[in-house]
Amino acid sequence: MYCAEVLRTEITVQQHMISASSEAAGVGEPALRAQWIETSAELLQRLAKLERALHRLQRYMLPRIPALDSYPLASAIRQANADVQDSSVNDAVLRRVRDCENPAWTEVQPTVHTP
């Protein structure tokens, strides 16, 4: 749940940045507008990456949630919100937050049993 909350927050921030960038691209000199359009394209790519990571994590977590204790889940959500706020001043927290963008650990590897 930690990473799901981090990703939701990051997606919201990304959407606000895209909106601001799009508004900025509508005014100013042509060269400046071109830079804002390029920035918007990069922001849209990152948004798509974050959304893919969140959907992947949700597909992994949703079937498991009924079997989990709600107290640790709530604690993870609170910790995620605190970490997102602290990530701009703390490198260790920033790394932990960024790790959520690549949920490779959600891949379930088949277990091979040999007799």
Chain segment 7-21, per-residue pLDDT in tens: 999 999 899 988 888
State residue 23's pLDDT score: 80
Please list the ranges in the chain whose pLDDT falls under 70. 105-115
Residues 6 or more apart whose CB falls under 8 angstroms from that of 56 comprise 103, 106
Q: Residues 97, 4: contact at Cβ < 8 Å?
A: no
Whether this model's pTM surpasses 0.85? no
Q: Nearest to residue 37, comparing CAs of 29, 5, 49?
A: 29
Residues 6 or more apart whose CB falls under 8 angstroms from that of 47 comprise 11, 14, 15, 18
- Across all residues in the chain, what is the average pLDDT? 82
State residue 51's pLDDT score: 95
State residue 25's pLDDT score: 73
State residue 105's pLDDT score: 59
Each domain of the chain, given as residue ranges in start order, spans 2-106
State residue 91's pLDDT score: 84
State residue 82's pLDDT score: 87
